Amino acid sequence: MKFRSLGFHNFRNLEDSLIPTEAKHVVLVGSNGQGKTNFLEALYLLCYGSSFRAVTLNDVCRHGEKNFSLTAVVEDEDGSNQNLFLRYSDAKREIRIDGKEIKDRRDLIYNIPCIVFSHDDIEFIRGTPESRRRFFDQTLSLYDPLYFDDLRRYRALLKQRNAAIKEDYIALLDLYNAQLAEVGYAIQTRRREAVEEFNAIFTPLYNKISRGESGMKIVYKASWDECHSPSEIVTKLENSLARDMRQQTTTCGVHRDQFTLMDGRVNFSVSGSTGQMRLASLIFRIVQIETYRQKGKKSPILLVDDVLLEMDTERRGEFLKELSGYSQAFFTFLPEEQYFAKFDNSSALIYSVEEGRFVGQ
């Protein structure tokens, strides 16, 4: 699966154009602020209907405009083409695949698997517990539609339970507790399995690329860790009611789960250097690729946005050698960077990017 072309209209600072992308490796070279990341953002939007940068789609309209559109032709594994279209107008998003409108993003996210490497990924390591929960939820949702559905259902139930607490509708809590316990237990079980699978790949891979020996692994601490069935979770929720009423929210549940990266007995977010944390965040994404490739039975498209700059040439080479299992990759680089180290870029399609214009090299 690969993008054959990408077109944009009124999208950020990019000049309205149609850009050929029919190559396994597409390299965008330019100074900061010229439009490289905007190009990757357009690809991501077509894959998932949302941005990995902007809070709202209104933020990605060209300055002074209130609408934008994106188009692409994507080649499937069987050699056939599909046409993607996304338009944002009058504060509404319209997405079509081969002319058919997509009403539910669930029908979109399993169409084109796409994984982005960005500077913000370091927050998986040093950021809030929510950032690590988001990473594992994203990883699981990429290949497990049932998990995606459970997550949606849990969030809806949690919102309803919190509203009942705030409005003092205590009579509704027995129903919400039972439903929340059932779906929450399923999420907790899948997260526990996912962490074991993650560590089996992450620990040896980190040691290989860093050329060291460490006990790096994710430790999963579930909020309902001591509960081994939905009925035990219901009891926990009932026992937490007084605290929930005081704090006006549900104080336990999978929305409070902790994923901590530990180096032996030390929290890596405290002990690791910025360079080590950056490397760990890149390996998080490699593990995500490998997990998806094994579980999803497809090779994803990669968007690698200026994350190699902080790595020396040798370590960059080690990282790129482990970057495999993808169908197509888009890279952004500064002009002075050595594009690849120990990596075949002979078939790469390279564009110079300046003020939103793309010129082939």
Q: Is 177 exposed, middle or buried (0-12, 13-18, 19+ CB in 10 A)?
A: buried
**CATH number (domain holding residue 199):** 1.20.1050.90
* 202 and 334 share one domain: no
Helical residues (DSSP H) of the chain, grouped into ranges = 36-48, 106-109, 123-126, 129-143, 145-167, 173-210, 230-239, 241-247, 268-271, 274-296, 313-322
Nearest to 286, CA basis, from 308, 270, 267: 308
**Is 281 within the bounds of a domain?**
no
Please check the confidence at residue 49 and state whether its pLDDT lies above 60: yes
Least confident of 106-110, 129-133, 300-304: 106-110
Over residues 313-332, the mean pLDDT reads 84
For the chain, the average pLDDT equals 92
Confidence band of 339 (pLDDT split at 50, 70, 90): low
Least confident of 223-232, 326-335, 339-348, 349-358: 339-348
CA 324, distance to chain mean position in Å, is: 18
pTM summary value: 0.91
**285 touches 243 (CB < 8 A):** no
* 134 and 267 share one domain: yes
* 207 and 339 share one domain: no
Over residues 27-35, the mean pLDDT reads 94
Per-residue pLDDT tens digits for 56-89: 898 999 998 999 999 999 998 888 999 999 999 9
Over residues 99-122, the mean pLDDT reads 90
Q: What is the extent of the structural domain holding 230? A: 128-139+146-273
* 351 and 262 share one domain: no
> In the structure encoding, which two tokens stand for residue 27, read together?
């390299």
Any idea what DSSP says for residue 14?
P
Total domains, the chain = 2
User: What is the number of other CB atoms lying within 10 angstroms of the CB of residue 151?
Assistant: 19
Confidence band of 247 (pLDDT split at 50, 70, 90): very high
* 256 and 330 share one domain: no
**CATH number (domain holding residue 67):** 3.40.50.300
Over residues 32-39, the mean pLDDT reads 95
Intra-chain end-to-end CA distance of the chain, in Å: 24
